A and B are shown apart, each in its own frame.
Chain A
Amino acid sequence: MPKLVTIDDETEFTNLIEGYFTPRGFEVFSANEGTGGLELIRRERPEICLIDLKMPGIHGDEVLRQALEFDPSIKCIMITASEGGGKTRDKLLQMGAYKCFDKPISSLKDLEKAIQEAVLL
């Protein structure tokens, strides 16, 4: 069963991810801030991480950096608000993010497609 860690300060968002991906065969772990998220990554060694960029405390880009430093094979999908435009996205992809999705997620189906593809890689 693939493991998915979702890190977002919006509890409703992490609940949504759990509610959607658990019945679809994923083991989902949630954290609502970066430090707790990194602990989960180190403990659970997930295949996939969904990381919100804008969070109180450690920001998503630092979580991405430390997650990939711990295990470069983790596929990190960054959830970004669009205000940073292409620059933010380019920077995150350069840092090693697998994909970036705009927040709010416009389609769970599209997110699922990206995650299923990442699991198969």
Chain B
Amino acid sequence: MAVIGTLAAGINHEICNPLGIVRGQCEMFLLNMRDGFYENKSREDLVKLCGDIMNKVIRETDRATAITKKLSGFAKPSKNNDMEEVLIEREVQEVLGLLGQDLKLNNIDIQTDIPANFPVFLADRKQIEEVLFNIIRNGAQAIDKKQGKILVSGFAQNGSAIIRIADNGSGIPKESLEKIFHPFYTTKAPGKGTGLGLFIVKQIVERNRGTIAVESEVGIGTTFTLKFPTAVKAITAAA
């Protein structure tokens, strides 16, 4: 219930605020017009003013839309028939295909260390890609060093497939660490993050019968550990 309460409060803050700005900008224009505050403005000034308002309206509606899209994607129930055997090396490569150029531009060296006999597990492949995408992108954004490093590694342990994503970024302070999976919690600058990424990641992992844990040290980096039960009818990536 605490999560639902926080989610509701966050929706109110993150969606109603942009809508309030949109309404306010339009109302301000109309009332300023009614009260004659634009009478001395030239046509060009008025056109520019209208343009500024339109741009704000577009920016704020985009902001609200982005959040509703994220939430609707998250609310979409996973069907059992979406579950398939996940070969993690393949999913990691898919994600790196999307993020690789950005990582390269930011001088981030990404390495993978997943053994050929890494076990497969049953999950929704697209959702697992979303999880990897979010964690790797977050890791890249947290890197403030000239030589950034991200290592994606995997190993099997006691019937579980374990995936670790470690970065050498700025790290997360202890007081923030326990909140990073809360909805709408973000340490990014206003407007730079919705605070939904890791919340959704955790929900997806749990929906796919996995767990997620995080360890971090300020100035050293952060490691996310994902753990999924291996598929009963195990095949290997090499097979």
Indicate, yes or no, whether A interacts with B: yes
Closest to A111 in B: B24
Stretch of B8-16, B85-93, B121-129, B130-138 lying at the A interface: B8-16
Stretch of A15-23, A38-46, A68-76, A92-100 lying at the B interface: A15-23
**Contact assessment for A10 and B17 in the assembled complex, using a CB-CB cutoff below 8 Å:** yes
**How many B residues touch the partner, as a band?**
20 to 34
Interchain CB contact (< 8 A) of B24 among A16, A54, A81: A16
Interchain CB contact (< 8 A) of A12 among B12, B16, B35, B60: B60
Residues of A within 8 A of B27 (CB): 107-109
B31 at the interface (CB under 8 A from A): yes
**Contact assessment for A9 and B190 in the assembled complex, using a CB-CB cutoff below 8 Å:** yes
| Interface of B: prevailing SS | helix
Residues of A within 8 A of B9 (CB): 81, 83
Question: Contact flags (1/0) for B1-40 with A, using CB distance below 8 Å?
Answer: 0000100110011001101110111011001100101000
Residues of B within 8 A of A106 (CB): 23
A110 to chain B, nearest CB (A): 10
Closest to A84 in B: B9
**Contact assessment for A16 and B13 in the assembled complex, using a CB-CB cutoff below 8 Å:** no
A61 to chain B, nearest CB (A): 16
A66 at the interface (CB under 8 A from B): no
**Contact assessment for A108 and B28 in the assembled complex, using a CB-CB cutoff below 8 Å:** yes
Using A13-B17, A104-B23, A105-B24 as known contacts, say yes or no to A23 and B32 having CB atoms under 8 A apart: yes
**Contact assessment for B31 and A109 in the assembled complex, using a CB-CB cutoff below 8 Å:** yes
State the CA gap A16–B24 with chains docked (Å): 7
- A12, A23, A81, A109 pick with most chain B CB within 10 angstroms: A12
State the CA gap A70–B16 with chains docked (Å): 32
Residues of B in contact with A (beta carbons under 8 Å apart):
5, 8-9, 12-13, 16-17, 19-21, 23-25, 27-28, 31-32, 35, 37, 56, 60, 190
Can you list 15 residue pairs at the A/B interface with Cβ under 8 Å? A11-B190, A13-B17, A13-B24, A20-B32, A23-B32, A23-B37, A54-B13, A81-B13, A83-B12, A103-B16, A103-B17, A104-B19, A104-B20, A106-B23, A108-B31
Extra inter-chain contacts (6) besides given A19-B28, A20-B31, CB under 8 Å: A12-B56, A23-B37, A81-B12, A81-B16, A104-B17, A108-B28
